[in-house]
Chains A and B, each alone.
Chain A
Amino acid sequence: MPAPVIDIGTEDVVEDERPWQVIVWDDPVNTITYVIYVFRQIFGYSKRKATKLTMQVHNEGRAVVNGGPREKMEVDCYQLHSYGLWATIEQQ
């Protein structure tokens, strides 16, 4: 009698390995000067880069301010929240 064949399901499970990124959103209260400072203080960005990102937040409503592993982005988000910026995390 042939042995029974049991199909245990061999679908490959592929983890979503897309990197993560932190988004900062515009709000009507945080000032441009303050946001530029926060980006420089937290990320070490040059004044030019911090200003460019801040103006992108202001003009487009949001900007990607950093990218990398999820755990690092969660720490970045924490730091941004400590300064009162609204930051969110998403996959690229």
Chain B
Amino acid sequence: MPGERALLAGVVAGLNDLDGAAGDPGYARLHPPVYLGDETSSSEWWRLMGDQLSQARDHDREVFDRVVAQSESVLSPDDARSFLRVVNQGRLVYAARLGIEVAEDLEELDEEEDIALWFLSYVVDDLSSVLAGFIH
């Protein structure tokens, strides 16, 4: 459905302008500390793993954009996992930028934000359930 596709694409577009330097909560959510209380070790982990993670996320995004652009309805499990990760990243960044840090913050959303987040949750849960069927 065009409206749902546009909503998905719109939320994922929020991944285009992640900005760590500007204190973007979306960026912070996708780059959290790995060693609590040890900034040196956390920085080292991100130094070693950050580029690889960034490349993996870029690959997932390419799959997502292709699927949406070509209106693909049948995906391989690998493509479906990429699609799932991107949609969930979009959710995380969207929610972080709305200031959602604890469950109670969800009650402060307006109707449009609430519906958007609910729809994205539905997509993530539905796809997770389908992919779980491929795990033996």
Contact = CB atoms under 8 A, between A and B. Distances in A.
Given A34-B128, A74-B45, A84-B30, A29 B135 contact: no
Contacts of A38: 128
17 contacts: A28-B100, A29-B91, A30-B88, A30-B92, A33-B124, A33-B125, A33-B128, A34-B128, A37-B132, A41-B81, A41-B131, A41-B135, A44-B135, A78-B52, A84-B85, A88-B33, A89-B35
A33 B100 CA distance: 20
Contacts of A82: 53, 56-57, 85
A53 interface: no
Interface residues of A, number: 25
Contacts of B32: 81, 86, 88
Interface stretch (B3-11, B16-24, B64-72, B101-109): B101-109
B25 to A, nearest CB: 12
